[in-house]
């Protein structure tokens, strides 16, 4: 089997995690150069790159899979470029190989907003009838420590989220999958500095000028907030506030449409 350059690049990288549709690797664009020149190997300047590999999905029909993968890698690269041009904080593009399904982007040192807000059902387990109740872990204070390390408060994070989304929407990019997992806080380089919010995962992004699409984008985020962070629903108001300020006169139309979109969805109670 012929192994092409992209596959070799993945082989030299380390698998970090498996997301919804791609495997995430951490590696370097020129690993061979680093390996040959051993003095460079531990060079702190050897800049890491994140590879997003959309591997072949066995469950999907091969024809469907190939065309989807190619379209998504291309789409993601285009959306990121468009954001970069508009000054939205997104990772820079390092390489694209659409037929192979590989996208190389800038490595961001930080944590996802979802992690910092402590959301999700992860690691929770249910057992029947235990004699003593297990003491609740003091989760909140732990999350606060993380946020302090990043030099931000939850309210500031919400403001950052709203502002970045507004910048993105002003560039007519619709993210398509806004969740708190798809937002990262870049760790401040020096102590005392404050973190920067970076939008990631543009796998479902597309370009649109329609108010409808932008409103649905916000609605997706709202739903993600209420499902992953059930106790912090009020925080979402902070996101919308910052968004409204940044959007200026365009906000009115989007706000009205957002109210309409909220009423959609099936089996909703039609009272009030």
Partner 1 sequence: MPGKIRKRSPLKVPEQPYIALGLEGSANKLGAGIIKHSPDGSTTVMSNVRHTYITPPGEGFLPRDTAQHHREWILTVINDALSKAGISLHDVHCICYTKGPGMGAPLTSVALVARTLSLLYSKPLVGVNHCVGHIEMGRQITGAKNPVVLYVSGGNTQVIAYSQQCYRIFGETLDIAVGNCLDRFARVINLSNDPSPGYNIEQEAKKGKRLLTLPYTTKGMDVSLSGILTSVETYTTDKRFRPQGSSEGEENADIITPQDLCFSLQETVFAMLVEITERAMAHIGSKEVLIVGGVGCNERLQQMMSIMAKERGGQVFATDDRFCIDNGIMIAQAGLLSYRMGFGTPLSKSTCTQRFRTDEVHVAWRA
- Residues near partner 1 (CB under 8 A) are 18-21, 57-61, 63-64, 68, 115, 118, 120-130, 133-134, 137, 139, 142, 176-179, 181, 204, 216, 220, 223-224, 226-228, 230-231, 264-270
Q: From CA 164, how far away is CA 199, in angstroms rounded?
A: 8
Residues near 193 by Cβ (< 8 Å), separated by ≥ 6?
151
Report the residue number, 36 or 60, with the smaller CB distance to partner 1.
60
Report the residue number, 45 or 124, with the smaller CB distance to partner 1.
124
Q: How many CB atoms lie within 10 A of CB 117?
A: 21
Give the phi and the psi of residue 183 in degrees, each rounded to 5: -135, 135
Report the residue number, 39 or 141, with the smaller CB distance to partner 1.
141
Cross-strand bridge partners of residue 26? 14, 50
Q: How many CB atoms lie within 10 A of CB 151?
A: 16
205: tokens are 């992004």
113: tokens are 């907003």
Task: Please indicate whether residue 201 is annotated as part of the active site.
Answer: no
Report the residue number, 161 or 178, with the smaller CB distance to partner 1.
178
| Least distance between partner 1 and beta carbon 120 (Å) | 5
Q: Which of 177, 201, 217, 259 is catalytic?
A: 177
Q: From CA 218, how far away is CA 214, in angstroms rounded?
A: 6
* Dihedral angle, C-alpha 203, 32, 47, 49, nearest 10 °: 10
Tell me whether residue 233 is exposed, middle or buried, using C-beta atoms within 10 angstroms of its C-beta: 0 to 12, 13 to 18, 19 or more.
exposed
Q: From CA 237, how far away is CA 244, in angstroms rounded?
A: 10
| Least distance between partner 1 and beta carbon 186 (Å) | 20
Report the residue number, 64 or 245, with the smaller CB distance to partner 1.
64
Catalytically active residues are 177
């Amino acid at each position: 089997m012929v192994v092409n350059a992209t596959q070799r690049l993945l082989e030299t990288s380390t698998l970090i995690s498996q997301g919804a549709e791609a495997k995430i690797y951490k590696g370097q664009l020129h690993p061979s150069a680093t390996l040959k020149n051993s003095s460079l190997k531990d060079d702190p300047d050897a800049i890491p790159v994140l590879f997003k590999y959309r591997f072949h999905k066995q469950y999907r029909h091969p024809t469907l899979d190939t065309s989807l993968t190619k379209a998504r890698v291309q789409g993601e690269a285009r959306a990121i470029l468009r954001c970069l041009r508009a000054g939205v904080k997104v990772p820079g593009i390092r390489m694209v190989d659409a037929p192979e399904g590989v996208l190389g982007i800038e490595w961001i040192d930080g944590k996802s907003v979802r992690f910092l807000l402590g959301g999700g059902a992860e690691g929770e387990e249910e057992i029947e009838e235990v004699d003593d109740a297990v003491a609740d872990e003091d989760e909140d204070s732990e999350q606060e420590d993380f946020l302090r390390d990043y030099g931000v408060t939850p309210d500031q994070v919400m403001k950052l989220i709203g502002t970045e989304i507004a910048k993105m929407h002003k560039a007519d990019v619709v993210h398509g999958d806004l969740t708190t997992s798809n937002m990262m806080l870049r760790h401040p380089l020096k102590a005392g500095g404050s973190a920067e919010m970076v939008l990631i995962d543009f796998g479902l992004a597309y370009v649109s000028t329609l108010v409808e699409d932008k409103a649905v984008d916000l609605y997706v985020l709202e739903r993600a907030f209420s499902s992953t962070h059930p106790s912090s629903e009020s925080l979402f108001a902070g996101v919308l506030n910052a968004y409204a300020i940044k959007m200026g006169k365009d906000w009115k139309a989007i706000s009205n449409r957002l109210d309409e979109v909220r009423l959609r969805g099936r089996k909703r109670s039609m009272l009030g």
